Amino acid sequence: MSKSSVKILGYGVDDYDFEQALDYAQNSAGQVVTINPEMILTAQKSPEFTRIINEAELVIPDGVGVQVGLRILGHKIKRIPGIEFGRSLLERYAASGKPVALVGAKPQIIEAAVNNLKNEIPNLNIVYTHDGYFINDDEIINEIVSVSPELVLVALGSPKQEFFISKLKSLLPQSLMIGLGGSFDVWGGFVKRAPKICQRFGLEWLYRTLKEPQRFKRIFPTLPLFLLKVLKEKISRG
């Protein structure tokens, strides 16, 4: 399948819908980045993070901010929520019994998430799990490499998870890996996703901010600043 991508503030986002992205990912190896405004602003200050995003095999638009930004630039692209994408990948890999690994979140949370996933997804072949509060990346990376998973889900928050995956992918070049932020907290039953109506209108960020007001500081300078930069880009493109 040939891939086309669109650019936002210099970062490529692949122009796929959910199913196309899933088909592409399932038949590929390497890193999937679920990009959002916060990551783009962080990457603008970090050449290393920029390199990681640019070298990712697939970049999907996670969240309404990137969708709105792309709309401003004249591209109509649908959001692909990372949490749903990760879940569908697990289902597809389970269908063929392929080995998967999960790394991230607090110990009791990943344990609950794995139990729930095993109950909900038949034939899920989990060969490795570890919580996300380790000191030595290389130790965990060596453990993962030694069990050769074909899919690795990493939930350490961004950009930590993208840096971790970037190291891992050079040692496991045949496997697919994706960073999933707070997804294990949801799968473990510790955090609720926003109601469907909020999801539909792209207001998950508002729901999460109201539930966890400490996120306000994170989201609020970010989203308007990101959209302002996109507007500036639009104006300069003419």
**Contact residues for ligand UDP, defined by CB under 6 A:** 104-106, 132-133, 155-158, 160, 181-182, 184-185
Calpha distance 2→23 (Å, rounded): 12
- Amino acid code (one letter) for 18: F
- Least distance to ligand UDP, CB of residue 236, Å: 30
What is the smallest separation between the CB atom of 95 and ligand UDP, expressed in angstroms?
26
Nearest to ligand UDP of 152, 155 (CB atom)? 155
Q: In sequence order, what are the residues at sequence separation of 6 or more whose Cβ sits closer than 8 angstroms to the Cβ of residue 118?
A: 124, 126
Q: How far is CA 93 from CA 25, 43, 86, 176, in A?
A: 11, 31, 11, 11
Of the two residues 58 and 153, which places its CB atom closer to ligand UDP in the complex? 153
Question: How far is residue 56's CA from residue 32's CA, in Å, rounded to a whole number?
Answer: 6
Q: What is d(CA 209, CA 217) in angstroms, rounded to the nearest whole number? A: 9
- Toward ligand UDP, which CB reaches closer, 105 or 124? 105
Give yes or no for a contact between 9 and 229, defined as CB atoms under 8 angstroms apart.
Answer: yes
CB nearer to ligand UDP: give 61 or 181: 181
Task: Tell the smallest beta-carbon distance from residue 160 to ligand UDP (Å).
Answer: 6
- Residue number with the smallest Cβ distance to ligand UDP: 132
| Rg of the chain over all Cα atoms, to the nearest angstrom | 17
The answer to whether 185 and 132 have CB atoms below 8 angstroms apart is no
Cis amide bond preceding 159, omega within 30: yes
Q: How far is the CB of 5 from ligand UDP (least distance, A)?
A: 22
Distance of CA 94 to the CA centre of its chain: 19
Q: Which is nearer to ligand UDP, 20 or 116 (CB)?
A: 116
What is the closest distance, in whole angstroms, from the C-beta atom of residue 43 to ligand UDP in the complex? 14
Nearer residue to ligand UDP within complex by CB, 16 or 184: 184
